[in-house]
Amino acid sequence: MKLKADIVIVGGGVVGATIARELSRFNVKTVLVERREDLARGSSGANSGIVHAGYDPEPKTLMAKYNVKGCAMYPVLAEELGFPYKPVGSLVIAFDEGGMETVRKLYARGLKNGVPDMEIIDGDKAREIEPNLSQEVVGALWARSAGIISPYEATIAFAENAAVNGVQFLLEQPVKAIAKENGLFTVTTKDYEITAEVVINCAGIAAGEVSAMAGAEEITISQRKGEYTLYDRNLGGFAKTVIFQTPDAAGKGVLVTPTAEGNLLLGPSSDPIAEDDPAPTATTQEGQDKIFAMGRKSTPNLPFGGAITGFAGIRAVFGSDFYIAPSEKVENFIQVAGICSPGLTSAPAIAEDVAQMAADLLKKQGVEVTKKENWISTREAIPSVREMSWDERAALCKEDPAYGRIVCRCETVTEGQIRKALRSPIPVYTIDGVKRRCRAGMGRCQGSFCTPVVMKIISEESGIPFDQIRKAGEGTTIAQGKLKEI
């Protein structure tokens, strides 16, 4: 199938999605291509979900600039786009004088980076903020501007808003080749040949491969696994804020944090990934034990039970800073690579600059680029029945009785929410797609009870036969045959 666009974005993580939203402000044709069956299937779907304050990056780096700016943007974005965000603040805790030295260094760095509302506090004050903190903690850096978000819900929200404003999203379309002839790119995916003036490389761990396809810079991404343990929501109150240990060369260390949806999260580890590892995002007993032990160092009362699942994400590291620039080898090819942590925090700020970069390149090509007068800044989120009062629930059920039928008991997700997720601007007809959009199957039983009903609703909404409904990508159907009707 042939398509004509002004701009092609490669990669549907938070970086691609935020850039798509920024570009949707302009009267240009933007197409985003993603190789997986859904958005946020790379690092953007498996990370700590922290909106970092910005004291970590070295001053004067792109990381420092975009981190601090992005952190300030999230409260407004969460409000406009209806994704979970909580301004809980963060603590970097120290256990001895060496740790306090790091805390002071981070504070000084934060000041240089322009981080607001930071304070160095003693152990007692830290325990006032976080009662479960170890008695061994002697002091901490308290950064009030840090927050937590749901990283996949945020990515989906950015993308849906871009779609409503005219960006075309093509899922399950891996880019296989990028050619350039007479100044025009042809991006070949599984089913499409898309011509475009500008291509933006936001392919995460595959940024090097995508760059090579275009004949642009050599980018060698190194990968490190980060494993997590997720606890049930009944332990959500265990941590009130994001608790970091002092960082080392491998990263920001193991954290104990509430999630924006009210669970408790522990992790990540930081382990190298072998090139031939067939399952780089698999969790291991060793990894889980390691993060539990480190979590207990920060918060000794951390309970052994209550974990409902584990997961892992892959860091895409390239040098010591983000690589965001037009290619010097291939004109009109923009590199947005090596977006490791704090990339989730930085994405909205990166997107503003990259969208402007792309618009300027288009103008240079003689394309008329104007701002839309009717651009829609907000998105209608899926109502969260769990968080509603009884009166609000009654009013919603009056409008649509499907909001009165609970499907996922652990997370109180109703049929109405699942149908709304499946009728969204970028519908994804998979079990995990529904889960990421409205939390059906996210709870204590991890979908043991609701999965067949979710599959039935997906089948009704999509017309896909029940036994062909997939959990996620290709080869993930789970029905073997019919025993009885559900």
Ligand X SMILES: Cc1cc2nc3c(=O)[nH]c(=O)nc-3n(C[C@H](O)[C@H](O)[C@H](O)COP(=O)(O)OP(=O)(O)OC[C@H]3O[C@@H](n4cnc5c(N)ncnc54)[C@H](O)[C@@H]3O)c2cc1C
> What is the binding site for ligand X (CB under 6 A)?
10-16, 33-36, 41-44, 47-50, 52, 174-175, 202-204, 206, 210, 226, 268, 313-315, 339-345
At residue 387, φ and ψ (nearest 5 deg) are -90, 0
Beta-carbon contacts of 176 under 8 Å, excluding residues fewer than 6 positions away, are 188, 189, 190, 213
Q: What is the radius of gyration, based on Cα positions, of the chain?
A: 23
Please check whether residue 471 is in contact with residue 432, taking contact to mean a CB–CB distance below 8 angstroms. Answer: yes
Cβ-in-10-Å burial (0-12, 13-18, 19+) of 353 comes to: middle
Cβ closest to ligand X, residue 33 vs residue 385: 33
Q: What token pair was written down for 24?
A: 């949707």
Closer residue to ligand X, CB minimum distance, 52 or 386: 52
Catalytic residue among 35, 52, 86, 379: 52
Is 35 or 420 the residue whose CB approaches ligand X more closely?
A: 35
Smallest separation, CB 474 to ligand X (Å): 13
Rank residues 123 and 208 by Cβ distance to ligand X and give the closer one.
208
Q: Give the angle subtended at the CA of 302 by the CAs of 297 and 303, to the nearest 5°.
A: 140
Measured from the CB atom, the residue of 54 and 139 that comes closer to ligand X is 54
The answer to whether 454 is a known catalytic residue is: no
Beta strands in 151-221 (DSSP E): 168-170, 177-181, 184-188, 193-196, 198-201
CB 176 within 8 A of CB 192: no
Residue type, 109: R
Helix (H, G, I), strand (E, B) or coil at 199: strand
**Closest to ligand X by CB, 141 or 344:** 344
State the DSSP string of 249-277: TTBS--EEEE-TTS-EEEE---EE--TT-
Residue number of the CB atom closest to ligand X: 343
Report, in Å, the least distance between residue 14 CB and ligand X: 5
- The residue type at 319: G
* 418, two tokens: 């699942």
> Please, what is the minimum distance in Å from the beta carbon of residue 298 to ligand X?
16
Distance in Å, CB of 85 to ligand X, minimum: 13
Residue 50 main-chain phi, psi, to 5 deg: -95, 130
CB of 445 to ligand X, least distance (A): 25
Least distance between ligand X and beta carbon 432 (Å)? 14
Which structure tokens are listed for 442?
A: 């996210």
Active-site residue numbers?
Answer: 52
